[in-house]
A and B are shown apart, each in its own frame.
Chain A
Amino acid sequence: MKLKLLILVLALQTAWILGTTFVQEHALSSGKLVLLETRPVDPRDLLRGDYLTLNYKISDVALDLFWPPRTNGLPPGQTVYVALEPRGQFHQVRLASTKPIEPAADYVVLKGRTQTWWTGNARTNVHLAYGLERYYVREGTGNPRGKITVQAAVPSSGQARIKEVFLDGRPYAEAMKGMAR
């Protein structure tokens, strides 16, 4: 009985690991791809190692892009849906709302959460986190010089995943090869 219960617990742990792997792989392979502009910094996570903190242009959404229109900010932790449309090389914010936006052919919808932020104007902008803010890199390669762009896969749920990060147009790992500190 005890062994059976232990097997059940381990099966649940294994199911979560495999289930998460499947969900993430499915989202990466089936989501619509968008290219985003960023500005990185270089911290470290105790468990997962070096990472880039990515701050996107689409992270700050002007209040006048909200529908229905807003005159004041939102409390931290509020879910916001953001429609992105391609403008030139990158995707930019077309519309934002606290209510779900239906995806369409000419734009994709990302789901984000409001955060308090130490830069930007809280009276004219809302700062959002999309779950795309960390990119884990090989130890010692979290100090890039150059322009960083992110290719994200956006599934129908709106919860985007980072598919690839480019440094001056080259895949990050390839661009940083041999540059570990």
Chain B
Amino acid sequence: MKYSDIEKIQKAGLITPEQQRQIVEHFKLKEEGSKFLTVISFVGAVLVACGIILLIAANWEEIPRGVKIAAGLLLMLAAHGGGWYLREVNGQYRKSGEALHLVGSGLFLGNIALLGQIYHLSARPPDAILLWWAGIAALPWLLRSKAQHILALLAFGLWFGMEINQQGSPIYFGEDEYQILLYALLGLVYVGGGYCLRRTAFAEFASPTEKLGLLAFTAASYPLTWGTLYRNQAGLAAVSTWIFPALAALAVVAAALGVLALPDLSRQWRWSWGLALAGLVGLLAGALYVAPHWSVSHEPHAAGYHWVCAGVLFLFCLLQIQVGVQRRSEFMVNLGVAFIALIITATYITLFGSMARTGLVFLGGGVFLILFGIYLEKKRRALMRQMKEPVN
């Protein structure tokens, strides 16, 4: 069922405009016409911003620095001006206008980089990204732009990643794999934030925030299933001791506040999903505080914590698929299915050992993967069909 079909039915007088609105809302139908323009506009915006940043990076010394700064500033203001005109004054090319605002936000980063290049500023690179984020953080709310919101979330994540790698920072977390635990927690903060946004006037920002958060949360938790993760324990002494518990507490509070008020889940599902998210925080805490001391052999990674992680994450993904079906979220179902396949692949590779064992694992695992792949795809298609069926 397409948006344009419903529009045609309404124009033929078979349904009222109110019924049309109800059908569109119930089936979450979107206008197809603007999709192409949206994609083209945003790809164009990203290309323009990247092109300008690369031109800045080429560093043309023949151009006086005053001219470079003025050009950067004027381009940024012109991009926002053009964006405003197309969205608010003209009103016909709202997506193109939004793309131009996106170019403007990218150019603010370009200008920060330009000044850093001209004056050879090299102290604390994360500060430049924090400044960029601070400069654009108000724009999503002001312009009611999802693209700006996603950019701001990515900018914050980028700053966070750089800051926890910055020696001397209060949140420095070492330069080993343990930092993925913080990325996972940040993802969960986004998920909780997205759930909370559903009850505000900015409900349209909820979905991208949840999706980005859940993707970051699952992707950053996934390496816990690898047997080779726990090897750099020597660097633990110099890292921040408070950032993990503080971020974990924030993630649990955000997720709890958000999940308990999700309108599209029953009370039982809300509790199940909330406890699953909290359980994953516990798994992350275990990787940091328990696994390094949980040694059963000479090899640090042989302690077996990754087996626990593989099992727990597998169950989490199954639950995520069920919650996705309940919430009619294709993204949650697809993400869950993809990570189930990835977890099984990781477990399969981890089992490689002696030639005899590897040979058996290859045989057994290969057959299992082929059959499981077919089953998974069948199941995914069935779930998608189930979700698209109208609710009785």
Q: Which of A's residues lie within 8 Å of B, judged by CB?
A: 2-3, 5-6, 9-10, 12-14, 16-18, 20-21, 24, 28, 45-51, 75-78, 113-116, 129, 131-139, 161-162, 173
| Interfacial chain A residues near B77, Cβ < 8 Å | 10, 14
Within the assembled complex, what's the spacing in Å between the Cα atoms of A2 and B322? 41
Closest to B109 in A: A47
A-B complex: 10 closest residue pairs judged by Cβ atoms: A77-B168, A49-B57, A134-B122, A131-B123, A47-B113, A76-B167, A48-B117, A24-B119, A136-B117, A162-B120
Contact flag A13-B135 (CB < 8 Å), given A24-B119, A132-B122, A162-B120:
yes
Q: B59 to chain A: which residues have CB within 8 Å?
A: 48-50, 136-139
User: Assuming the A-B contacts A3-B84, A48-B116, A136-B120, are A173 and B61 also in contact, with contact meaning beta carbons closer than 8 angstroms in the complex?
Assistant: yes
Task: Provide the residues of chain A in CB contact with B117, threshold 8 Å.
Answer: 48-49, 136
Taking the nearest CB of chain A, how far is it from the CB of B102, in angstroms? 14
B contact residues around A77 at 8 Å (CB): 167-169, 172
Q: Which residue of B lies closest to A152 (CB)?
A: B120
Q: What total of A-B pairs shows CB separation below 8 Å? A: 115
Could you tell me if B57 and A45 are in contact, using CB atoms closer than 8 angstroms?
yes
Contact across chains for B61 and A138 when beta carbons are under 8 A apart: yes
Give the residues in chain B near A14, CB-CB below 8 Å.
Answer: 73, 77
Q: Judging by beta carbons under 8 Å apart, are A6 and B84 in contact?
A: yes
7 CB contacts below 8 A, A to B, read A47-B110, A49-B59, A50-B59, A76-B167, A77-B172, A138-B61, A161-B120
Q: Which residues of B contact A135 (CB under 8 A)?
A: 120
Q: Which residues of B contact A9 (CB under 8 A)?
A: 135, 138-139, 142
**B58's contact among A3, A49, A173, by CB below 8 Å, is which?**
A49
Total contacting residues, chain B, CB less than 8 A: 41
CA distance A46 to B113 in the complex (A): 10
B residues with a Cβ closer than 8 A to A are 53, 56-61, 69, 72-73, 76-77, 80, 84, 88, 108-111, 113-123, 131, 135, 138-139, 142-143, 167-169, 172, 238
Contact A113 B56 (CB under 8 A): no
Option from B76, B113, B123, B138 in Cβ contact (under 8 Å) with A48: B113
Question: In the complex, which residue of chain B has the Cβ closest to the Cβ of A161?
Answer: B119
Tell me the bound Cα distance from A134 to B124 in angstroms. Answer: 12
- Provide the bound-state CA to CA distance between A77 and B72, in Å: 33
CA distance A7 to B138 in the complex (A): 12
Check A2 against B142 for contact (C-beta < 8 Å).
Answer: yes
Q: How far is the CB of A59 from chain B (nearest CB, A)?
A: 13
**Pairwise interchain contact A131-B121, C-beta atoms closer than 8 A:** yes
Q: Which of A10, A75, A129, A133 has the most CB of B within 10 A?
A: A10
- Distance from B185 Cβ to chain A, minimum over Cβ atoms (Å): 23
Known A5-B138, A77-B167, A131-B123; further 12 A-B contacts with Cβ < 8 A: A3-B84, A18-B73, A46-B57, A47-B56, A48-B117, A49-B56, A49-B59, A76-B238, A113-B123, A131-B121, A136-B118, A161-B120
Chain B residues whose C-beta falls within 8 Å of the C-beta of A114 in the assembled complex: 168
Which residues of the other chain, A, contact B167 by a CB distance below 8 angstroms? 76-77, 115-116
Residue of chain B at shortest CB distance from A136: B117
Closest Cβ of chain B to A38, distance in Å, is 13
Which of A46, A48, A76, A131 lies in contact with B168, CB distance below 8 A? A76
